[in-house]
Amino acid sequence: MNIEIKKSIKPINYSDAINFLEKRLEDLHRNKDKELIWTLEHNEIFTAGTSYKENEILDNSIDLIKSNRGGKITCHAPGQLICYFVLDLRKKRDIRKFISCIEKSIIETLKDYNIETFSDKDNVGIWHKKNHTTNKVAAIGIRIKKWIAYHGFAININNNLDQYKKIIPCGIEDKGITNLISIADNDYSNLDNLLIEKFTSNLKI
C-alpha cells in the first residue's frame, strides 16, 4: 500500500479540507497521486450529511455546512480528532468490510487506553456504555465515488459537548454524546499515531 500520511497541527477550514480531499480523489482515480490518511482538527462548525432532516437542528443560529458525505448532522470543534482519508476500493469493492475496518481500528485504538467501546449495526459510529447509558464517542461519515472512499471519522477527545445540545446528533434522540476525557482521564497526545498504526494495519487485511 502506498498511502501518504498527513498530520495538521493547526485547525483546518472545513471547506478547504473537503476541496483538498476531492482533488486528491480525482488525482488518485487518474493514478496521478497516492492514497491519503489525514489527521486534523476543525474550528467549531456543524456539518449535515446527505440524510439529515431540518428538525434535527435545535438552534437555528448555528454555523451549518451541508456536506456530500453520508450520515446526518454533527459538530466539529477543537478537541476532536478527525481522520480524513482518500482510499482506493476499486479492487476490493466491499463497502461493508471497509466500514468494519474503520470501526475495528477505532475500537482497538481506544482499547489501548483501557476504554471498551463497540459498534452498533443499527446506529453507525462507536459507542461507550456506562451506568446503563450509551453514548457515542466517535462518528463515521463517508462517501464513495468511483469506488474511492473519502471523508472519514471523528473521535471526541476533550471537545465542548455542550455544542451538541444545539442539534440532534446524527439524528439519534435516545442516546447521548461523550468524549474520552469524560470516560478516562488519560494522556491522549499519541492517539493520532496509534490510530494511524491500527488503521493502516487493518486496511491490509
Bridge partners of 139, per DSSP, are 154
Give the side-chain half-sphere CA count within 13 A for 38. 22
Contact 105, 86 (CB under 8 A): no
3-state class (DSSP) for residue 136: strand
Residue among 75, 83, 101, 170 flagged as catalytic: 170
Known catalytic membership, residue 170: yes
- Alpha-carbon distance values, 137 to 17, 24, 32, 70, 141 (Å): 22, 28, 36, 18, 14
Helix (H) or strand (E) segment spanning residue 156 = strand 148-156
Q: Give catalytic residues, as residue numbers.
A: 170
